[in-house]
Structure 1
Amino acid sequence: MERIERIHALHRILTAARYPVTVQRLQGELECSRATVYRDLAYLRDYLMAPVIGNGEAGFRYDPDEANRFELPGLWLSSQELHSLLAAQQLLMRSGGGVLSNALAPLQHR
């Protein structure tokens, strides 16, 4: 599992947890080493400003007072950028598809 996938999985686990989640459980669910769990938790807390609280003995969770306000950063496109991507997809479809045509197909329905 790549780092970004682990970060998203870790976010889902901590968001759904009502009680602190142990490092052992995180290791099992994320299929990674103990050190990787700690690195990913530090990345969430220090770089993404996630409200991670806890320690290795008791487990980790999101601060209940802050958890509802935290979201992982996403990809935000302006309407002009989205329109440009869809126009590019239309051109690709007319020319026989391409790498982007499959990736952009879900955007057509929105």
Structure 2
Amino acid sequence: MTRSNRLFELIQILRAAATPMRAEDLAAQLEVSKRTIYRDIAALQAMRTPVEGEAGIGYMLRKGYDLPPLNFDEEEIEALHVGLAMLMRTGDGALQQAAARVGRKICDVHASAEWLQVAPYGAPLDDPDNGCVSKAILRQAVRSAQKLRLVYVNEAEEQSERILRPLALIYHVDCTLLAAWCELRHGFRHFRTDRMLAADLQDDHFVEEAPLLRKLWQEQERDTFVYNL
């Protein structure tokens, strides 16, 4: 979680709290250290966010403080509800949790659209405890233009190890594909996440090459995938 996202989540937690929140409880919810919470509280106070309290007692957000309302019309709210629900089909556990948080924030300022239902059937849920590669790691690799070491099994049950330059994730109904430049094959390849045995982030980045590689991949696959709405 980036620092800006963490500060936003910290505001949301304090906003919903009925009593002062201790630093250790905030740290547990955000999965950071108490020292990080103290720094974040100080940063929010420096930005004139009305956080009150002190170490050993707890922190609260002064009543009356709120974030700007989300201005969506009825059909936009319905589109968001369906779109967030369809994330259940991706099998991406981290995105599903993020979608649930977004949904709760929308419902805080808009009427619910629970009458719009989406069947959850789709790609299997990624579960690192059962040997599945986390899609959150793959998204991180694409986002940060960071090389990835992949252990992969193809359709013929042949196992290989390769270094990839991840470029995109493509969510199908029944599976998810990672698009990447494969240094072993010297070309663009697509890898099913359900055939990945391991994926480890490497120290090497390819930030400068990423935009050109992604553009070349998009040109090559322009008749296959939708990139933007």
Shorter-chain-normalised TM-score: which range? 0.5 to 0.7
What is the TM-score normalised by the length of structure 2? 0.30
Deviations 1:15-67 (A, max 9, x none): 101110010101101111111101111111112x2110001111001112x42
Residue matched to 1:50: 49
1:62-84 deviations in whole A, cap 9, x for unaligned? 112x424xx27xxxxxxxxxxxx
* Higher-RCO chain (CA-CA 8 Å, sequence separation at least 6): 1
Runs of 4 or more consecutive aligned structure 1 residues displaced over 2 Å after TM superposition: none
For 1:61, the equivalent position in structure 2 comes to 60
Greater fraction strand: 2
Q: Which amino acid aligns with 1:46?
A: A
- Specify the SS of the correspondent of 1:57: coil
Q: Identity percentage over the alignment?
A: 32
- Counterpart of 1:29 in structure 2 is 29
Mapped pair 1:16 → 2:16: yes
Post-superposition Cα deviations, 1:76-96, rounded to whole Å, max 9, x if no partner, equal xxxxxxxxxxxxxxxxxxx73
CA contact (8 A) 2:23 2:34 kept: yes
Q: Which runs of 5+ in 2 are unaligned?
A: 69-218
Contact 2:11/2:61 (<8 A) preserved = no
Gaps of 5+ in 1: 73-94, 106-110
In 1, the alpha carbon distance for the partners of 2:11 and 2:24 equals 16
TM-score (norm. length: structure 1): 0.59
Give distance in 2, aligned partners of 1:13 and 1:51.
14
Which residue of the partner structure matches residue 87 of structure 1? none
Match in the other structure for 2:115: none
Alignment partner, residue 3 of structure 1: 3
Q: Aligned Cα RMSD in Å?
A: 2.5
Give 1 or 2 for the bigger CA radius of gyration: 2
